[in-house]
């Protein structure tokens, strides 16, 4: 498809490339075919495409994949593509915004391997990249066109200017690979930046559980919140929900246990160090204090569990203990017996109407009391109301 062809297509439907949507349409069919090959698209694959544009990449994907679901937020483009029947029969075109679309549901509808391939609008690259990390258990991989500056951040190493929170989150979850650079002349209109095509493959041996990423992200983003400040100051200034009463002394003690210099800055830590720091702060089993020990007035998970059990039983709530996720073993002694912990310990509170609320006890390891821990959490009204008297007297 030539530049003239793209202009003609847009003119026929009174459309323009929209800067507010970051539209730079891929116009080179040979480049589109090459990108499809580099993305590893094979017969039998189910491909999700973000940003249909004029359909150049879409058609290349459809030539190799079994099925393509392509999303575009521009209603005018969607109408034009449908009016001209410009896409092959194995393509489903949807008028949807990738930032609100249920990508997980689309992926689960597939019968074969699921990949995502996109000439990603540069204006939304950050939010989309973060969303894709949450889909890593559903996707074989994803390959996206990015502004070179963004690509460099994702491939950066600790201690460099381009190293940031998005680098860390990707380093913990996927392997990023630079595939090729695409010249600006392959797009219409020509972007003022250079473009890099990257491929992301979920780690074969995950470093963290799926539900852990959000917790790690809170620590990482706080750590990068003030790049000129030390890690201690950044974390304390940034605030960490779920860690009420966190003091500088307590934070320094955790860093010392991990062998991290308290004067270090966030951008000098490796992704694995951020993960270890999160485990230390949120009290995973391998980093929890021994029963009866305290550091800076902090509570051992066993003590917190004792108090939670007392509060729940006094409120007439049924209590179930659940241990899951292997990440190292340890013993947490509680008055109801010794509960074997493998990475996580939860208490399940059940109201008389069957309403359940799971509380991650180890995430409160830096709490000073069960009352302060529970006050920081959202609890269903039925359970909070039942616990109210107990909380007041705790």
4-18: b or e for each residue (b if 16 or more CB lie within 10 Å)? eebeebbeeeebebe
**For the segment 269-286, what is each residue's pLDDT rounded down to a tens digit?**
999 999 999 888 876 323
Q: What's 277's domain CATH number?
A: 1.10.8.100
Give domain status of residue 389, yes or no. Answer: yes
**Does residue 143 have a cis bond before it (omega within 30 degrees)?**
no
pLDDT over 60 (residue 16): yes
| Residue 296 neighbours by CB under 8 Å, 6+ apart | 247, 249, 250, 253
Place of tokens 């509570």: 299
Give domain status of residue 367, yes or no. Answer: yes
Measured between alpha carbons, how far is residue 72 from residues 174, 197, 284, 322 in Å?
26, 20, 42, 43
On whether both 220 and 252 belong to a single domain, the answer is: yes
On whether both 80 and 188 belong to a single domain, the answer is: yes
Say what percent of the chain tops pLDDT 70: 70
On whether both 100 and 200 belong to a single domain, the answer is: yes
Encoded tokens for 372: 């302060």
- Closest CA relative to residue 22, chosen from 192, 143, 263: 192
| Residue 221 neighbours by CB under 8 Å, 6+ apart | 165, 238
On whether both 130 and 242 belong to a single domain, the answer is: no
What is the layout of strands, in order, in the sheet containing 318-334?
Answer: 318-334, 337-350, 356-360
Give domain status of residue 295, yes or no. Answer: no
| Residue 384 neighbours by CB under 8 Å, 6+ apart | none
State the pLDDT at residue 64: 97
Please report which residue ranges of 202-265 form alpha helices under DSSP H: 213-223, 231-238, 248-258
Give domain status of residue 292, yes or no. Answer: no
Which of 172, 206, 240 finishes a domain?
206
Give domain status of residue 374, yes or no. Answer: yes
On whether both 88 and 199 belong to a single domain, the answer is: yes
pLDDT over 80 (residue 111): yes
**For the segment 186-224, what is each residue's pLDDT rounded down to a tens digit?**
999 999 889 999 999 999 988 887 778 888 888 898 888
Encoded tokens for 231: 């890690």
Task: Write out the residue range of the structural domain in which residue 244 sits.
Answer: 211-282
Give domain status of residue 254, yes or no. Answer: yes
Distance, CA of 98 to CA of 177 (rounded, Å): 23
Q: What's 77's domain CATH number?
A: 3.40.50.150
Q: Is the pTM of this model over 0.85?
A: no
- Paired with 95 in beta bridges are 72
């Amino acid at each position: 498809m030539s530049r003239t062809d793209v202009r003609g297509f847009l003119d026929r439907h009174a459309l323009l490339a929209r800067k507010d949507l970051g539209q730079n349409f891929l116009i080179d069919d040979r480049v589109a075919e090459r990108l499809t090959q580099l993305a590893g698209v094979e017969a039998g694959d189910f491909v999700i495409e973000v940003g249909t544009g004029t359909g150049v990449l879409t058609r290349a994907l459809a030539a190799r994949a079994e099925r393509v679901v392509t999303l575009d937020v521009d209603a005018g483009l969607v109408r034009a593509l449908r009016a001209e029947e410009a896409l092959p029969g194995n393509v489903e075109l949807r008028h949807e915004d990738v930032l609100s679309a249920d990508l997980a549901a689309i992926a689960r509808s597939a019968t074969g391997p699921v990949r995502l391939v996109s000439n990603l609008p540069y204006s939304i690259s950050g939010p989309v990249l973060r969303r894709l990390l949450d889909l890593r258990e559903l996707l074989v991989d994803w390959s996206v066109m990015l502004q070179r500056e963004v690509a460099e951040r994702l491939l950066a190493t600790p201690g460099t200017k381009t190293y940031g929170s998005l680098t860390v989150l990707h380093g913990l979850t996927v392997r990023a690979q630079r595939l090729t650079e695409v010249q600006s002349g392959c797009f219409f209109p020509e972007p003022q930046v250079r473009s890099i095509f990257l491929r992301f493959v979920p780690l074969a041996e995950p470093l963290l559980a799926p539900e852990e990423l959000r917790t790690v992200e809170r620590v990482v983003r706080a750590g990068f919140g003030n790049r000129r400040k030390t890690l201690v100051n950044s974390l304390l200034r940034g605030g960490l929900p779920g860690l009420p009463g966190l003091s500088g002394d307590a934070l320094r003690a955790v860093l010392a246990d991990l062998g991290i210099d308290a004067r270090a800055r966030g951008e000098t830590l490796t992704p694995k160090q951020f993960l270890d720091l999160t485990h230390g702060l949120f009290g995973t089993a391998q980093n929890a204090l021994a029963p009866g020990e305290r550091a800076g007035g902090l509570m051992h998970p066993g003590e917190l569990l004792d108090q939670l059990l007392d509060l729940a039983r006094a409120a007439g709530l049924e209590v179930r203990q659940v241990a899951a996720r292997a990440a190292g073993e340890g013993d947490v002694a509680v008055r109801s017996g010794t509960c074997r912990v493998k990475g996580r310990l939860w208490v399940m509170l059940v109201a008389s109407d069957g309403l359940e609320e799971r509380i991650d006890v180890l995430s409160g390891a830096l709490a000073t009391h069960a009352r302060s821990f529970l006050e920081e959490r959202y609890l269903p009204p039925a359970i909070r109301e039942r616990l109210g008297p107990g909380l007041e007297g705790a």
